[in-house]
Amino acid sequence: MKQQTKNRIDRTVYAKQDRQYRAFMPEATSRIREDVEWSITYSFNAKDAASPRVLLIGDSICNGYQEHLRKLLGEKMNVTYWISSKCVTDPDYFRELSRILNAARCDVISFNNGLHSLTSDRTEWEQAYRRGLKFIRKVQPRAKLALTLCTPLRPAEKTAISRALNGIALRIAQEEKLPVIDLFTPMDKLDRKTNWRDDYHFQPQVCVTQAEIMAEHLLALLPAKKLTRKLKQSGSATGPSGRIE
């Protein structure tokens, strides 16, 4: 009987969350999905609800630096990340975002979307981006929200699109009085031949630099008194890789 009661409560909660994200998702989109769409989520120290937690929302660039970032934040802040190929204009984006946002309380959230939006309609992207920020604030009203800029790419023509999308994000950040984490400017100064491993992704040493930039900004968003506790990061031998993460 107790289990049946619990199940009824859970269904009510999930039904409420479903109605919530539908109120924010775009009414229409011209977005054409990629041939391969993907999403990856990890939540480290998932049972620790008392310590500070940062949520990283991004794409494969985030995946490149997240391991280094976790080491830099390891004793101060737990990490959850959701990385995806989905543009904010994708009909499924808000459904997945809802699941991530409702999973645990977050103290800091880094929001990035854009490199999988290079061909998206610019007006639709800006509208969906704004809706995404409103949705994040609705579900996690106490979290410190920062906008993380997209990185440049190896080809100049694609870098120009990334720069334009960042321009929109910067305008929104100014309007909403949100802090910005700039990964574009320092990366754009790097030599394309030696620091990129393909048109989008960076060599390992560059990912370390990105993690250092992220750590500096994320730690600055929380009062020092919240970061005094030394956390012990738990591992798991049952993760997707079959090793302790």
Residue 36: which residues within 8 A CB-CB, separation 6 or more?
85
Angle at 105 between CA 103 and CA 108, to 5 degrees: 120
Residue 54 to residue 111: CA distance in whole angstroms: 11
**pLDDT 10s per residue in the chain (245 long)?**
455 555 566 777 777 888 889 999 998 999 999 999 999 999 999 999 999 999 999 999 999 999 999 999 988 999 999 999 999 999 899 999 999 999 999 999 999 999 999 999 999 999 999 999 999 999 999 999 999 999 999 999 999 999 999 999 999 999 999 999 999 999 999 999 999 999 999 999 999 999 999 999 999 999 888 887 788 887 777 766 655 55
Which DSSP state fits 234?
A: -
- Per-residue model confidence (pLDDT) at position 20: 87
- Per-residue model confidence (pLDDT) at position 167: 98
- Per-residue model confidence (pLDDT) at position 1: 47
Q: What is the pTM of this model?
A: 0.92
For residue 87, which of 116, 61, 112, 56 has the smallest C-alpha distance?
116
Q: Which uninterrupted H or E stretch holds 79?
A: strand 78-84
- Per-residue model confidence (pLDDT) at position 3: 55
pLDDT in tens, 154-204: 999 999 999 999 999 999 999 999 999 999 999 999 999 999 999 999 999
- Assess contact for 128 and 93: CB atoms under 8 A: yes
Domains, the chain, ordered by start: 38-226 (3.40.50.1110)
Residue 144 to residue 217: CA distance in whole angstroms: 11
- Per-residue model confidence (pLDDT) at position 4: 53
CA dihedral 146, 201, 26, 107 (to 10 degrees): -30
- Per-residue model confidence (pLDDT) at position 235: 76
